[in-house]
Amino acid sequence: MSSNPCCNLHIQLFLGLAALFLQISSQSKVEFLPGFQGPLPFDLETGYVGLGETDDDLQVFYYFIKSENNPQKDPLMLWLTGGPGCSSFSGLAFQNGPFKFKIEEYNGSLPNLVLRPQSWTKVCNIIFVDLPFGTGFSYAKNLTAQRSDWKLVHHTHEFIRKWLIDHPEFLSNEFYVGADSYSGIPGPAIVQEISNANEIGLQPLINLKGYLLGNPLTTGEEDNYHIPYAHGMGLISDELYASLQRNCKGEYRSIDSRNELCVRDLNYFDECLLGINKFFILDRYCEDVSSKKPEALWRRSLTQRLKSSFVVPDIKCQIFGFFLATQWANDESVRKALHVRQGTIERWERCYTADFVFQIHSSFEFHVNLSAKGYRSLIYSGDHDLVVPFTSTQAWIRALNYSIIQDWRPWLLDGQVAGYTRTYSNQMTFATVKGSGHTAPEYKPDEGFAMFSRWIAREPL
Ligand SMILES: *[C@@H]1O[C@H](CO)[C@@H](O)[C@H](O)[C@H]1NC(C)=O
Ligand SMILES: *[C@@H]1O[C@H](CO)[C@@H](O)[C@H](O)[C@H]1NC(C)=O
Ligand SMILES: *[C@@H]1O[C@H](CO)[C@@H](O)[C@H](O)[C@H]1NC(C)=O
Ligand SMILES: *[C@@H]1O[C@H](CO)[C@@H](O)[C@H](O)[C@H]1NC(C)=O
């Protein structure tokens, strides 16, 4: 008559564990990766952290790489790539992670991976997280409801707390948030949310020390710096610059279409910059072919068109690497190796930017609040980026009114000037990476690594 309490308990326990492992979160060590020769010489773990209540509605995918130096003592950093909606795998594979794609002619077979000697994981534990939902391998039942600035902030905060519960051995490590490009907007808000939650005693306590941001979007004023920057870099004439200043009065974002002289000057400006790669003005300009229908670009026979479901970019272009990443991440063997749950993601896109609700228009106030609380910060700029020019970054830093601790000076690598730096009160450091673009460590890996490893070790640049 009466049920067996022992067995019921077991069943309950089993169901509880099943829920925990199948739905809430999972983690797996990855020892081999398709395209990489031999076992990985670093510790890679991939996994999911489930947010929300109990079901598998919101699943955040991450790549975690242990420091190759001293994982117990080295800091732990959460990395967010920009977009909004670019997979942090982009940061891993193209900027600061331990492997990258081997740039070689694509012949249809799986792209190869090679080590990046200047990986930031040489000195730091890094979690590369796929957020907002819809990004990379993270998935949610109803994407539309999950894609906004504040959702991204809350999800990232919830993610890191849950991740630390699953990895208590990292609770005492110093914790940093690293972000670049668009994530200059949600990044500081995430840091503030973590800090606020720590203050009210939310567990587990996160050993938050600071944040670093690369060419970060911050105030929305950035667009007004494109023209002065292009002038300073010799991309437009003195006369056009003078005329633009006169006719548009320094406001180049929302143009009154009745202001014909300003519109005329801006059209001329656009023509001058048509062939310029805005992410790195020294690099090749390459049309992004990924969004184009193959038919439009492959004017070949029908059979060839049917065979090619994609367009291969020029191997000399940065986007060739993005193409390799997309081929790689969509390969079944890769997904298996990464322990991506079957049937959750149809096609991996490096960036999924649709349907995002922009709610935070400036992160300036977050910087004001955070530095008052004593968090360290490194703000760096690849100085040949037109998207977020270093001049716009310096302008908002100046507007913080911090006193200068050590004034503008070159910082060196191998006896050569690698960029310029200045330190401010409130533990803020600004640095340029000379001759680099929007994603500074991508184009200047040695300099990027030197800058990061010095800053994270609290050494002067
Ligand atoms: C493609 O090139 C790789 C070497 O990079 C080679 O191992 C492979 O066999 C080639 N595949 C095809 C289909 O030609
Ligand atoms: C998804 O979320 C949106 C926004 O909250 C909502 O309007 C819509 O009804 C939801 N769709 C489904 C299928 O639940
Ligand atoms: C900064 O901190 C103040 C005081 O805690 C708070 O009222 C304000 O909302 C914060 N600013 C932002 C942008 O969160
Ligand atoms: C910086 O100083 C200016 C001029 O005194 C002032 O208007 C502004 O509010 C200050 N900014 C901050 C963030 O305190």
Task: Tokens for 287, please give them.
Answer: 């049309």
* Measured CA distances, 384 to 20, 225, 276, 439, 442 (Å): 47, 13, 11, 10, 13
**Which range has the worst mean pLDDT, 290-299, 362-371, 425-434?**
290-299
Q: What is the dihedral of CA 352, 357, 363, 365, to 10 degrees?
A: -160
| pLDDT tens sequence across 223-255 | 899 999 999 999 999 999 999 999 998 888 888
Ligand with smallest separation from the Cα of 141: 2
φ and ψ at residue 37, rounded to 5 degrees: -75, 120
Task: Tokens for 232, please give them.
Answer: 């300073």
Residue linked to tokens 């310096």: 394
- Residue 353's pLDDT is what? 87
Which atom, in ligand 4's list, is nearest to the CA of 368? Answer: 13
Domain residue extents for the chain:
5-220+358-456, 236-272
Angstrom distance (rounded) from CA 97 to CA 320: 18
CA–centroid distance, 460 to ligand 3, in Å, is: 30
Amino acid at 321: G
- Residue 303's pLDDT is what? 37
Task: Indicate the pairing of strand 44-51 with strand 25-30.
Answer: antiparallel
Q: Residue 248 contacts by C-beta under 8 Å, 6 or more apart in sequence?
A: 255, 259, 262, 265, 266
Question: What proportion of the chain, given as a percentage, has pLDDT over 90?
Answer: 83
Q: In a mutational test of the pocket of ligand 1, which residue from 106, 109, 110, 113 has the highest number of ligand atoms less than 8 Å from its CB? A: 109
Question: Which whole number is the average pLDDT over 191-218?
Answer: 97
Q: What is the dihedral of CA 278, 279, 281, 283, to 10 degrees?
A: -120
Atom 10 of ligand 2, residue of closest alpha carbon: 142
| pLDDT tens sequence across 99-121 | 999 999 999 999 999 999 999 99
Which atom, in ligand 3's list, is nearest to the CA of 368? Answer: 1
Confidence of residue 274 (pLDDT cuts 50, 70, 90): very high
Q: Is 430 in the pocket of ligand 3 (CB under 6 A)?
A: no
Strand partners, 177: 78, 211
CA–centroid distance, 302 to ligand 2, in Å, is: 40
| pLDDT tens sequence across 7-61 | 344 434 444 444 444 456 789 999 999 999 999 999 999 999 999 765 568 999 9
Q: Is 109 in the pocket of ligand 1 (CB under 6 A)?
A: yes
Q: Residue 453 contacts by C-beta under 8 Å, 6 or more apart in sequence?
A: 120, 122, 123
- Residue 291's pLDDT is what? 53
- Pair 77, 176: CB distance under 8 Å: yes
Task: Indicate the pairing of strand 208-214 with strand 99-101.
Answer: unpaired
Instruction: Indicate whether 126 pLDDT > 90.
Output: yes
Task: Indicate the pairing of strand 113-115 with strand 208-214.
Answer: unpaired
CATH superfamily of 5-220+358-456: Alpha/Beta hydrolase fold, catalytic domain (3.40.50.1820)
- Residue 11's pLDDT is what? 39
The Cβ-side half-sphere exposure at 42, using a 13 Å CA radius, reads 28
Decide which of 205 and 20 is more confident. Answer: 205
- Residue 300's pLDDT is what? 37
Instruction: Indicate whether 301 pLDDT > 80.
Output: no
What is the pTM for the complete model shown?
A: 0.90
Instruction: Indicate whether 388 pLDDT > 90.
Output: yes
Mean pLDDT of the chain: 90
Task: Tokens for 150, please give them.
Answer: 């504040």
CA–centroid distance, 222 to ligand 4, in Å, is: 19
Task: Print burial letters for 34-52: b (CB count within 10 Å at least 16), e (below 16).
Answer: bbbeeebebbbbbbbbbbe
- Residue 338's pLDDT is what? 98
Instruction: Indicate whether 215 pLDDT > 50.
Output: yes
Question: Which whole number is the average pLDDT over 384-411?
Answer: 97
Confidence of residue 295 (pLDDT cuts 50, 70, 90): very low
Confidence of residue 347 (pLDDT cuts 50, 70, 90): very high
Amino acid at 65: I
- Residue 4's pLDDT is what? 40
Amino acid at 276: I
- Residue 99's pLDDT is what? 98
Active site residues per annotation: 181, 385, 438
| Ligand 2 site, CB within 6 A | 142, 144-145
- Residue 142's pLDDT is what? 84
Task: Tokens for 168, please give them.
Answer: 């208590």
- Residue 380's pLDDT is what? 98
* Measured CA distances, 295 to 305, 308, 315 (Å): 6, 9, 20
CA–centroid distance, 57 to ligand 2, in Å, is: 13
